[in-house]
Amino acid sequence: MIPVYNEEKDLQPCVRRLHEHLARTFPYAFRITIADNASTDTTPQVAARLAAEIPEVSTFRLEQKGRGRALRAVWSASEAPVLAYMDVDLSTDLNALLPLVAPLISGHSDLAIGSRLAPSSRVVRGPKREFISRVYNLILRGSLQARFSDAQCGFKAIRRDVAQVLLPLIEDTGWFFDTEMLVLAERAGLRIHEVPVDWVDDPDSTVHIVRTATDDLKGVWRVGRALATGSLPLDRLARPFGDDPRDREIKDVPRGLARQLVGFCVVGALSTLFYLLLYSGFRVFTGSQAANALALLVSAIANTAANRRLTFGVRGRGGAVRHQAQGLVVFGIGLALTSGSLAALNAATSEPAHSTELAVLIAANLAATVLRFLLFRAWVFPDRREGGSPVAASYDTTQFRAGDVADSWRDATAQLLPVRPHDTDARDFR
């Protein structure tokens, strides 16, 4: 797909060059769709002429602007098993197209993106755009914990079964569409393949940098808030595609136990540091027992909230009050262990050193931590579903299952049959 708005000058050479490249080098059947975003010049007429002259070219007209809106409309209506788009200026070298879609055709990855920021990429562009691109990706990494390297490169692909599940969750209709798609896919555990690209900046680009940057920052805030509040139903995307080794049962080990242990240990280590800092601060103003109780209470509330979301995968606000109440009971047991340890220390020596107090508390907290995990798993956040998968907020995902999608288009991946290259084409130097 090629989204365009008022591109009467560049559209024809772009489409002809792309078609020539695909016909000469691409080993699979293809279709080029021109998505016209409410152009006011002669772009629709140019697109119509191209569609009439070239069998593999079609055109799609939208009466509203927005690259995201065009992507959603064309991709949702397409029957192709692999969907891709690129900008009309063809800034990205077309030799990266086959490496972009290959992992999607094989089923190894769910999405693929071109990256101008990969170490092996070769990029020619001005310092202003380079600075803005790198700052934007730093913002994504800092605010949304994004791990992909380049959200804005206009060179991406997605499997159709993944798109059918992912596209309905994306709100943006403009330039932030790409970023939102990648963030949601990454948070849902989908695999994103990155391809280093050769990219040459288009000096005649019509993108309004300031307005686009402002809209992107608004999108970052909206998506970040939705992720923080748990309002995004990412359960719809939680590994419905293919065989995931994390879903396989391990003999004599309950499902999800290993992941929960790792998450609980990380949260527990951070909670212990938080507790010790609080205890040291409270100890300046009060006695050891009161300081321990206050520090343990505050850290216990934070620990329950973190384990609820990160360790046991519970999203949304449902049951949060009950979980905190049960967590306070677990806190009471931990308080009894640590307070008893301090009482025993004070009985043994009248004025113990502060370092000795901390050592005793660390040992007592380790014992309390083991007990806390067992109580959390068996009582506070029990697994109420068959198969032992972690508890999570419930969403109706039946209509989005990948198997149902595959049935509707008869496993279209199998339809990607290689075609014989043009062996007699003098331009083919292979």
Per-residue pLDDT reduced to its tens digit, 250-274: 555 455 677 788 888 888 888 888 8
Round to whole Å and give the CA distance between 427 and 295: 74
Residue ranges per structural domain of the chain = 2-236, 257-380
Is residue 82 helix, strand or coil? strand
Which one, of 27, 20, 82, 6, lies nearest residue 54 by Cα?
20
Task: Catalogue the long-range contacts made by 288-291 (C-beta closer than 8 Å, 24 or more residues apart).
Answer: 288/342, 288/346, 288/357, 289/339, 289/342
**Distances in whole angstroms, Cα of residue 394 to Cα of each of 163, 165, 234, 309, 315:** 22, 16, 11, 14, 9
Per-residue pLDDT reduced to its tens digit, 154-173: 899 999 999 998 999 899 88
Q: Among 294-303, 378-387, 396-405, 415-424, name the most confident range.
A: 294-303
- The predicted pLDDT at position 242 comes to 54
Asked whether residue 74 carries a pLDDT value surpassing 60, the answer given is yes
Query: Quick one: what percent of the chain has pLDDT higher than 90?
Result: 28
CB 365 within 8 A of CB 124: no
Asked whether residue 124 carries a pLDDT value surpassing 80, the answer given is yes
Provide the token pair at 67: 């690259």
**Rounded average pLDDT over 194-219:** 76
Decide yes or no: CATH 3.40.50.2020 for domain 2-236: no
- The predicted pLDDT at position 251 comes to 55
Per-residue pLDDT reduced to its tens digit, 228-256: 777 777 665 655 555 555 555 555 545 56
- The predicted pLDDT at position 210 comes to 66
Asked whether residue 222 carries a pLDDT value surpassing 70, the answer given is yes
Region of 202 on the Ramachandran plot (φ > 0 left; ψ -120 to 50 alpha; else beta): beta
Round to whole Å and give the CA distance between 158 and 85: 9
Comparing 20-34, 260-274, 409-423, the range with the smallest average pLDDT is 409-423
CB 185 within 8 A of CB 166: yes
Residue with tokens 């695999």: 191
- Where helices occur in 78-235 by DSSP H, the ranges are 97-105, 127-144, 160-166, 177-187, 209-229
**Rounded average pLDDT over 193-221:** 78
CB 87 within 8 A of CB 175: no
Per-residue pLDDT reduced to its tens digit, 288-326: 888 888 887 888 888 888 888 888 878 777 788 888 888
